[in-house]
Structure formats: structure tokens, C-alpha cells
């Protein structure tokens, strides 16, 4: 069964840091481009960033609001992707989803259940 399981969410103060993890199973993780998407309370979906497979260079790209503060990395030996979030702001409060594709050519056909991050003093 194809599965993505996020962990690491929680409550953090503004300016703080948090690292989210996403464990993958059921597909060839080392070939996958992994993304993070978030949804703030009462808002729509927002793509956060992605990391390509190592075979495709392993490079990362980020949405403008998180560039320079967030970083995505991967450990193919553990089938896990990470989202390191630094200098957190109140507006980063959201459910964070890990997502990728297996057969949809770039559209996100697999999603985790999401993990909540709350930035508050």
C-alpha cells in the first residue's frame, strides 16, 4: 500500500524552529520528487516546496513566503523527507501535507494525512 506518514508537528513560538518528517512506503521513494503543501486555518492550499530525486539532481525549490527560512532534505536510506522550518511566523500556522506522485506525471496522487503546526506565543 502506498503511504505517506507525517510527524513532528506541534506548538512553537514565533521565531522558533521545527522539523517535520514524512515517511514513505509502498513505492520507489528514491525516484520520487517529494513536495510539502500546507493549508492555513480557513485558507486554501499552498505549495511550500519540493525536492527532486537524487537521479534528477536532488535540488530544491520553494514558495516565495518560505524561501530562506524553510529547507527540504531527504534520506533515501530511510525513505523519509524532511521539512526544516526556521524563523517561524504566526502565518506559518497550518496543516502541513507531504505529497508526491506515482503515476500522474507531476500531479499529486499520493498524500499524507497532514500534521498541524501552530506558531503562537
Partner 1 sequence: DIVMTQSPDSLAVSLGERATINCKCSQSDLCTSNNKNYLAWYQHKPGQPPKLLIYWASTRESGVPDRFSGSGSGTDFSLTISSLQAEDVAVYYCQQYYTVPWTFGQGTKVEIK
List residues near partner 1 by CB under 8 A: 35, 37, 44-47, 49-50, 61-64, 97, 99, 103-109, 111-114
* E strand segments, the chain: 3-7, 10-12, 18-25, 34-39, 45-51, 60-62, 70-75, 80-85, 94-100, 110-111, 115-119
Residue 5 or 76 with smaller CB distance to partner 1: 5
Residue 27 or 47 with smaller CB distance to partner 1: 47
Gyration radius of the chain over CA positions: 14
Shortest separation between residue 26's beta carbon and partner 1, angstroms: 15
Residue 55 or 103 with smaller CB distance to partner 1: 103
Shortest separation between residue 103's beta carbon and partner 1, angstroms: 8
Shortest separation between residue 97's beta carbon and partner 1, angstroms: 6
Query: 32 by DSSP, 3-state: which?
Result: coil
Amino acid at each position: 500500500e502506498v503511504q505517506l506518514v507525517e510527524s513532528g508537528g506541534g506548538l512553537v513560538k514565533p521565531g522558533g524552529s521545527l522539523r517535520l518528517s514524512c515517511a514513505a512506503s509502498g513505492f520507489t521513494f528514491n525516484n520520487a520528487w517529494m513536495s510539502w503543501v500546507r493549508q492555513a486555518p480557513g485558507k486554501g492550499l499552498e505549495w511550500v516546496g519540493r525536492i527532486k530525486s537524487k537521479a534528477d539532481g536532488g535540488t530544491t525549490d520553494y514558495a516565495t513566503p518560505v524561501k530562506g527560512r524553510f529547507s527540504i532534505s531527504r534520506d533515501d536510506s530511510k525513505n523519509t523527507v524532511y521539512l526544516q522550518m526556521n524563523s517561524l511566523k504566526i502565518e506559518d500556522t497550518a496543516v502541513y501535507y507531504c505529497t508526491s506522485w506515482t503515476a500522474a506525471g507531476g500531479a499529486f496522487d499520493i498524500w499524507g494525512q497532514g500534521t498541524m503546526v501552530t506558531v503562537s506565543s
